Every structure is written in C-alpha cells, then in structure tokens.
Structure 1
Amino acid sequence: MKNHGLGDWIHRRRVRSRGATALVSVGGTLTYDELADRVDRLANAFADRGVGVGDRVAYLGENSAAFLETLFATGSLGAVFVPLNTRLAPPEIQFALKDSGARLLVASATLEPLAAAGARETAVERVLTVEDGTPQQREGTVFPVPTEEFEAVLDSGASERRDVEVDHDDLAVILYTSGTTGNPKGAMLTHGNLTWNAINVLTDFDISSKDVALMIAPLFHVAALGQGALPVILKGGSIVLEQKFEPGRVLELIEEHRVTNISGVPTTFQLLCEHPNWESTDISSLRNLTCGGSAVPLRVLDAYESRGLAFTMGYGMTETSPGATTLPPAYSRSKQGSGGLAHFHTDVRVVDPGDRPCPPGEVGEIQVHGRNVIAEYWNRPDATASSFVHEEHATWLKTGDMGYFDEEGFLFISDRLKDMIISGGENIYPAQVEQQIAALEEVAAVAVIGVEDARWGEVPRAIVVVREGHELSEKQVLGHLDGKLARYKIPKSVVFVDSMPRTASGKIRKPDLRRQFA
C-alpha cells in the first residue's frame, strides 16, 4: 500500500470494523464498510473531474457525513482538503478560495447563496451541492461555475479503491486561522500532523472502539476535527454528527445514542447544565468531557461533578493540530484554570525574549514542538519566517501566547501577545475588525477589546474616536460591518471617546482601554 495518510484510514477500517457504526447524521447511519465504499466512489468521481495530487478541494457546510467523506476521498487522491467556516461573510469565503486556489467546492445546499458569492472570481471550476438540511433562500441563486448534486456525483464513481502514494510529510488540510493583520493565514496541516495529534489523544485520553462521540462543535474547527472526530475514527468508534447546538436536543441525543464523548467550550457545557431537562436526562453513558477555549467556571464544574462527571481541559491552536497540552480530569479542580501538561508526544516550553527557558512561575512566551506542529503557512513565507524558532535539534512554534509553568510542570495561560478575543470558542483578532471600522470616513481612531460575557465568555467591544465635524452612531458602525465580517466578529457594543490613550510612539494602549471599558 502506497497511501500512509488519512485517505487510507477508512479502507483499513473496512475489514477491522465491518458492520460497526461509523457515522450517524441527518442522512442516516453508515457502517465502516458502507463509509469505505462511499469514500472510494467519491474519490473516483473527484478524479473523473480532474482532481489529482496536490489539488485543493474546499468544503463549506455544517457537520454531515459528506464533510468527512470529502476529507477522506480527498486524502485518497493525495489532494488537499480546505474546510471553510460557515459563519464567515462572502468576502472572507472568497479570500480563502482565492488564496488556496481550490478547484472544486463542495457546499451545503443550505448555504448556496454564500457559496455562490464566495466562489466568484476564484479558481473554483465546479460546485457540488449537498442536500444535508432544509435549504433557505435558494431561489435566484446563480453560481459562476457549473454545479452538480453531491449524491449523484458520488454514485457516478467507480467502487475500486485508489492507492496513491501519500506520506506523512504530505499536505492534508489547509485550515485558515483568523489573521492578526487583516487576512487569515492558511495553516498547512500534514497527514503526519493530524495522525500524531490523534495518537496524542489516544495516548492521553481513554478512547476505545466502543465510544460514541457526539460532535456538536463544527468540524471546520480544528478542535472538533483533530481532537474529536479523527481520533475516534482511528480507534473505530462511532460519531454522531449534529449540525447546530441546541441544549435540549443535545440532551436527547446523549440519551438516545448512549453518547460517551462530548467536546465543546465552557459555554456549551454551561448551557447544557442550565437546561430544564438536565436533571431528568439519563447521562450515565458519558465518560469523556473535553473542554477548550478557556477555563471551566467553578459553578459548571460543580454541576457536572454532582453527577459524577469531570472535565479534560486543554490548550492548543490550529498550528498544533490542535493539541498542545491537556489537563487530566483528576486535576480539574486542584489545577483549575491550567491548560495542563504537554501532550505525551509533544514538547511545550515557556521562554524569555531571548528564547531562553523561564523558571517555574515566570511568565514568558509559550512555544511548542512536536510532530503535530505545522512547519509552514500557505503562501505566507513572511508568517512562516516569523512564527518559528529553529534550533539544532528542534523547531519551536511561537504561539504568541504568554504563560508560565508551576512547580509541577502544569501550564497556565496569563495573557495573549496578539490581543486575541475568544468568544464562544471562536478566535477573533481585533486588527481585522479595526480595519473594517477604520474604513468609515467618520472614524479618527478605533480599538477593539474583549469584554466579559456570561454566555460567550467574552465578546468584542469597539472603542471609537469620531473625526471632528462628523457624527457617527453605534447603529451605523454595526451596520457597516454587517456582511463584511462573520457575525461573531462584529462588536456587541460601541463606546465613543474623545481620545485614545497612547504610548510615546503613538500606539494605542489597549491595557488602559481594558481597565476603563472592559
């Protein structure tokens, strides 16, 4: 066998897990042997339409069997999978498609208007539409390229397995991260990166072939894909795919499918335990609760511990595929707020400005090394050059996050060099929002900060100085952003000030703004 990447995983599972449930979704249930047959057919259908080694195939849609089928079919051909965030605005989708050079776009029929707008003036030659929900606002949608229906395309493919040479160093996925200076960066995740991340999860978590993982976080996020879905598939467990998070519905699914694993952000777990059906729902099947993005509040820990459950928490990012550290359930209270220990096959260090390791308790930049860490960004040699420290025996990723180790080697995150805001698990970089607001001629200066929010952890707030002789309202600012940015990036409030606190060099002092307005 020539293919040693993700594309061969399902083929290898075909015999080992024949008859076992692989996926449960809106389209029904698929066993591993049925999934393998569909992946083979889809790979051949892609090849019939010109997709080959290195070609990029983009996917725009919510959680569905088609998402994972496209990922594995793409890997079978040695091509590259490009998942797109469904919450982005058309210009953001267009940027990702242009930058990646994707030739084929697979898109949910529910998102046809977004797919059509995003595909304009890009390299996309064909769009495949997936009927995975109730279409909305489809009438009048005009695509700039030919379209076909996903199932019809899959059915047209031959059932023979393709065996293309793929190694661990070959590119598997381009996943776009929010840009600190406007445009996102395409993190280049290899087959080896994702495989070693899955191995880390299987080593540090209690995953078995009997597990049933409920995917309530979107698979286009690296956490859901890398920490949630792929390790369970590698082990031969089952995945229940849910397209939208609704607490009552999630509780029903846990009981119906005897779910063992759930991944999410603190808001996810808070909304579940605050739902009226929390106490009456049978959740005795649950074993693994994985939470990332920020620390779990003590009141949420109490609610789950009262029912015999504990959390595994962690720290990571797209560039680490995504696991860097994990906090075992046994330490969820004694080390509350910690990102945990470095994953088993990953190294994490905290360094001073000269890249020298800091002693316990001293804050420095967090850097990560391991086979799960990317080596470069797509089309961004500048970002690649500035993001890594090359030493004789290791290359370290500069995370841009600040933190420290305690005496026992547990990592604590203390600040972010890049001023990133995490809202409901979504990363928001203020510079991108600030660029859009600054485009208004009425704006003299703008800064975006994060403010605490009971539901989302934190949300963006814009601080604006209006040019002399002009007038501007909060409604006008927010209206200007509508359609230009994903909704979760749009500030929830706008504060108008006469001037900004600045350093001697003229830079806005965001710590001062946070103290005053956050």
Structure 2
Amino acid sequence: MRNRGLGFWLAKRRLKNPDKPAIVFDEDVITYREIADAADRVAAVLWHRGIRKGDSVAYIGENSPQFLQVLFGAAQIGAVFVPVNTRLAAPEITHVLTDSGARALILDLDFLERAMPGVEAGRIAHVIVTGEGTADNPGLTVQMTETTGGHTIADVTLDDPAAIIYTSGTTGKPKGAVLTNGNLTWAAINCIIDYDVAFAEKSLMISPMFHVAALGMGALPAILKGGTLVLEKAFDPGRALALIQRHGITMLAGVPTTFQMMADHPDWASTDLSTLEKLTCGGSAVPTRILNAYEERGLSFSQGYGMTETSPGATGLAPEKTREKQGSVGLPQFFTEVRIADENGDMVPRGTVGEIEISGPNVFPGYHGLPEATAKSFTDDGWFRSGDLGYLDPDGFLYIADRLKDMIISGGENIYPAEIENLINDIEGISGVAVVGIPDERWGEVPWAVVTVREGTEVDTESVREHLDGVLARYKLPKNVVVVEDFPRTASGKIRKADLRARFGRSS
C-alpha cells in the first residue's frame, strides 16, 4: 500500500531533514524526526482502537504540537480529520460531531464538558484528552507511549478526503466542506509558489489552525517546504511582537484586527522587525491606516481572497501591487482560475460585476452528506460558484463588489446572519429580524440585529444576547439590537439588508 496524501509528508521530512526544527512551542523545540515519530504513534493509537480509512477523527483544541500530530497521524491511516472551532457553543459542537459522523474525538480537557452532549448524541466510540490525562482516563501522550505495535499505512490517493472543515451555515446549520488530500496539497503548493515560502522560513502561527486559512495557507505550506512553525495557543499582540524578535520570525499571517492590535501595542516601535519578510492578510481588505503603519516599518502585505471550499486560497495580491491595486484581492493563484458570470451563467466582460466562479485542484469536491447543496454550488462545467459578487479589471485583478450570502467577517471569523436570525425569531414578542454587518474600528465588522416587535413588547440588546449566550459562539452575538417599525423591502417582499447596513453603519 502507498499513501500519496498528507500521510507521507512527515516521513519524507524525517528522511530528508530529521534534525531540522519543525515546531517551536513555548520553550520546546521539536524536530521533524520527533514530530514524525509522534504522528506514527498517534496513528497506532487510532489504528488499535479500530479507526480505519474513511472514518472521521474530530479534534478540539488550541494550537499545539498535538493538533498536528493528530492531523498527520490520522492521514497515515486514511482517516478524515475534523478540526472543531474552539469558540463554538455546545449545540454547535454537537452538530459538527454528529454531522461528521466522527468515530473518535481528541480534545483538550477544557472542552470536554462542552463536547459531551455531542459525544452522547453521535457515533463517537473513543474520547481521548490531549496531554497526560488522569489516572482514570489516560491522555493521548500516555496512550502514545503505552500502545504497542504499529499500524497499517492506508492506500490513499489525492482524491481521498483528508479533512472536513465546517463553514458557517447560510441556512442555520454549518456545512462540512470535504477537503481532499489533493485539495490541501495543491493549496500548499499555490502558497509556496505565490508567496515564495522558503526552507529557512520561520512562521509565527497566531491564528487558530482549526480555521482553514491558518491550516491551509500557514501550517501546511511551511511543513511541505520544511520550514519551522512557532505555535501560539492564542493571540496576544505584545507576546507576538516578542516572539518575532526572539525567534527571528520571517513570515506572519493574520487578519486586519491582529495586525492593527500589534501596531497599537506600546512595544511596536521598539520591537526589532528586521527579519520579517512576508506578511499575509485575509478576511477583509487591509485598511489604509494599517498599510501606513507597517510601511513606516518597511513592511508590506500580501492580501488575498478565498474560502473554506477553495482550501482556502483563490487569489493573491503581491506586496508590490498593494498601492497600485489598492482594494483588489489580486490575481488567481498559480494553479487556480477565476472567472465572472452573470445571473444566467454567461461570462461577462472585464469591469462588469457578476458572480465569482473558481476552478482548480484546490477546489473541494462537495459538502459532506449534502448532495443537493453540492450540486447547486457548481456550474455544469465544474466551476465552483462562490456566491460572492466581483469584477476583473483590465489587468485581470479581482475586486470584491458584494457578498450574495450576506456573510459578516468579524475579526477573521465568518458569521452568517441566518443562523442568528433563526434563534432570535424564537424570542417571544419579536415579529421580524435582520442581522447585518456594521463597520467596526477594531473587528472590521460586527453583527447588529434589526428587529420588529409586537405591540407591548420591549426588547433590548442585553436580553437578546442573554437568550443566545451558550447557544452561539460569543463572537456571533449581536453587538447591538435596534427596534424599527418596519423593514425596507424589495417589490417581492425581501428585506433590503444593504439599506439597513447603510442606515445603521452611519450611526455606528
């Protein structure tokens, strides 16, 4: 048998560069030999518990070496890795665990209580905590040591699934995007080519790897190239600056909010940033004030556009084009194509706004267990319909005009209004609701709920947030609730969310 997917990466790096530092975590330096050996042991743990090719293995935890050990260990036996957003509430975690059909769950102890409803409702046969665990429940570290015997390397092709990553749901429930070994491999190759990722790279991971951007455009390209990852459990601007100076960080990815918080930190001016060569920013356009702050330190950004379904990169804007093409998300990545179509699916001339369609080996094959949603997401000739509106300028650079799906991007987190609206509609006395993204100085956008109420009903922001707290992740909770007499509507009766964004955006 032969594993042609992610499962062979670490074994190849162990052969070629065994003593090269692969991961720096707190004070620990882990070589490629050590991380490869650990992934082998994780694969053995899963194998001896009956996990086989095609089974899903869920993971809930912050950035850590064990996150990568589980990812690559599962890949060796052909299992499908399901990273779970640690910020989700218990009902949201339950959906991911049950919908994915996960057979094993590996998680940090802090998340056990939140995950248990999903464990009880799903097909999970094995729950393993990371680290040492307890005497009654040995953790993954102990099980890796105590498990005897090896495992069978699965026969894996690039077309086999490697991960299921859940996108925020447009109809109230997140959908699991199935990413193949080929999707993640080609996405990493695109990054290596377009961002010139080097063997000597030292990449600081300040974004959580359960997000496809940090995983697909941060961790995986660096590992494929043989670079070093400096892992952080959570983002702290002062600590991030200190790590850049201490380790001579060369590459850093984030969202506008993280870059702004670093530039606003008291240590910004005194931190040695001379080793930084590559800054990549996604989630939303980089505001001019942030561009200015970094350019004053001799730094510029690569920006881009993509989504979970494209693993995630689709386009990239080179740093030297940042000013000339300000507002653009760049050109298609090397092995990816982008085109613009009208409502009939016909291609439109450059400069004309239409739906962005994407093709390439990094584009996913479909949503887990949702054949109808998958079919609607692709054109007859196999291009992925992004649901976003944009146009190409005369030079082929892509500009985003609007989002058909009304997605809100807050601090790099994707928020879909329908999920919040469905829950607010259940509140007694509320007769209608529209959730819209309102510009925010710190987070880029934040959700506001605009509601209509029945006569005699009083609703305020605190009561709505209290109703949603514990059901939704806190970043999805509306930052403000506004009561209106009626909504602006189209002739067909649909709420005109653009009008609401324009109205309340001015008053924010």
Secondary structure of 2:121 counterpart = coil
**Residue 343 in structure 1 maps to residue 330 in structure 2:** no
Q: Aligned letter for 2:417?
A: P
Contact 1:41–1:159 under 8 Å retained in 2:
no
In the other structure, the counterpart of 1:309 is 299
Match of 2:459 among 456, 472, 476: 472
Secondary structure of 1:390 counterpart = coil
Structure 1: which 4+ aligned runs deviate by more than 6 Å? none
CA distance in 1, matches of 2:346, 2:278: 36
In the other structure, the counterpart of 1:115 is 115
Q: Aligned letter for 1:119?
A: V
Q: Aligned letter for 2:79?
A: A
**What are the Cα deviations for residues 42-101 of structure 1, in whole angstroms up to 9, with x where unaligned?**
101110111111110000011000111000000000110000000110000000000001
Say which is worse superposed, 350-359 or 250-259, in terms of deviation: 350-359
**What are the Cα deviations for residues 290-345 of structure 1, in whole angstroms up to 9, with x where unaligned?**
00011111111111111111111100000000010000011011111111000010
Match of 1:508 among 491, 495, 508: 495
Seen in structure 2, the aligned counterparts of structure 1 residues 115 and 233 have a Cα distance that, compared at 3 Å, is same
Q: How far apart are 1:160 and its partner, in Å? A: 4.6
In the other structure, the counterpart of 2:52 is 52
Contact 1:449–1:510 under 8 Å retained in 2:
yes
Contact 1:5–1:167 under 8 Å retained in 2:
yes
**Residue 299 in structure 1 maps to residue 289 in structure 2:** yes
**Residue 181 in structure 1 maps to residue 138 in structure 2:** no
Within a 5 Å distance, the mapping from 1:230-249 to structure 2 comes to 230-249=220-239
CA distance in 2, matches of 1:443, 1:237: 53
**Residue 214 in structure 1 maps to residue 189 in structure 2:** no
**Residue 496 in structure 1 maps to residue 483 in structure 2:** yes
Match of 2:406 among 419, 435, 440: 419
Match of 1:272 among 248, 262, 265: 262
Match of 2:352 among 362, 378, 382: 362
Contact 1:174–1:378 under 8 Å retained in 2:
yes
Within a 5 Å distance, the mapping from 1:61-80 to structure 2 comes to 61-80=61-80
Say which is worse superposed, 347-356 or 81-90, in terms of deviation: 347-356
Q: How far apart are 1:163 and its partner, in Å? A: 2.3
Q: How far apart are 1:148 and its partner, in Å? A: 3.8
CA distance in 1, matches of 2:149, 2:191: 32
CA distance in 2, matches of 1:117, 1:256: 42
CA distance in 2, matches of 1:212, 1:33: 18
Contact 1:266–1:291 under 8 Å retained in 2:
yes
Within a 5 Å distance, the mapping from 1:332-411 to structure 2 comes to 332-391=322-381, 395-411=382-398
Contact 1:42–1:157 under 8 Å retained in 2:
no
In the other structure, the counterpart of 2:317 is 327
CA distance in 1, matches of 2:495, 2:172: 18
CA distance in 2, matches of 1:472, 1:272: 37
Secondary structure of 1:389 counterpart = coil
Q: How far apart are 1:405 and its partner, in Å? A: 0.6
Secondary structure of 2:383 counterpart = strand
Q: Aligned letter for 1:496?
A: V
CA distance in 2, matches of 1:97, 1:503: 39
Seen in structure 2, the aligned counterparts of structure 1 residues 161 and 235 have a Cα distance that, compared at 3 Å, is farther
Q: Aligned letter for 1:83?
A: P
Contact 2:421–2:433 under 8 Å retained in 1:
yes
CA distance in 2, matches of 1:106, 1:148: 12
In the other structure, the counterpart of 2:272 is 282
Q: How far apart are 1:106 and its partner, in Å? A: 0.6
CA distance in 1, matches of 2:147, 2:196: 38
Say which is worse superposed, 473-482 or 156-165, in terms of deviation: 156-165
Q: Aligned letter for 2:232?
A: E
Q: How far apart are 1:376 and its partner, in Å? A: 1.0
Secondary structure of 1:285 counterpart = coil
**What are the Cα deviations for residues 252-289 of structure 1, in whole angstroms up to 9, with x where unaligned?**
11111111111000111111111110111111111110
In the other structure, the counterpart of 2:193 is 203
In the other structure, the counterpart of 1:487 is 474
In structure 1, runs of 5+ residues without a counterpart are 139-145
Seen in structure 2, the aligned counterparts of structure 1 residues 158 and 349 have a Cα distance that, compared at 3 Å, is farther
Contact 1:37–1:159 under 8 Å retained in 2:
no
Contact 1:338–1:413 under 8 Å retained in 2:
yes
Q: Aligned letter for 2:204?
A: L
CA distance in 1, matches of 2:178, 2:380: 18
Say which is worse superposed, 24-33 or 157-166, in terms of deviation: 157-166
Q: How far apart are 1:161 and its partner, in Å? A: 6.6
Contact 2:391–2:401 under 8 Å retained in 1:
yes
CA distance in 1, matches of 2:359, 2:347: 14
Q: How far apart are 1:368 and its partner, in Å? A: 0.2
In the other structure, the counterpart of 1:83 is 83
Within a 5 Å distance, the mapping from 1:158-173 to structure 2 comes to 158=148, 160=150, 162-173=152-163
**Residue 155 in structure 1 maps to residue 145 in structure 2:** yes
Q: Aligned letter for 1:472?
A: V
CA distance in 1, matches of 2:147, 2:342: 55
Q: Aligned letter for 1:489?
A: K
Seen in structure 2, the aligned counterparts of structure 1 residues 356 and 199 have a Cα distance that, compared at 3 Å, is same
CA distance in 1, matches of 2:40, 2:195: 31
In structure 2, runs of 5+ residues without a counterpart are none
Contact 2:131–2:142 under 8 Å retained in 1:
no
**Residue 435 in structure 1 maps to residue 422 in structure 2:** yes
Secondary structure of 2:379 counterpart = strand
Say which is worse superposed, 467-476 or 6-15, in terms of deviation: 467-476
CA distance in 2, matches of 1:332, 1:387: 31
Aligned residues with identical type, % of pairs: 53
In the other structure, the counterpart of 2:38 is 38
CA distance in 1, matches of 2:469, 2:155: 45
Contact 2:47–2:151 under 8 Å retained in 1:
no
Q: CA RMSD in A?
A: 1.5
CA distance in 2, matches of 1:117, 1:251: 39
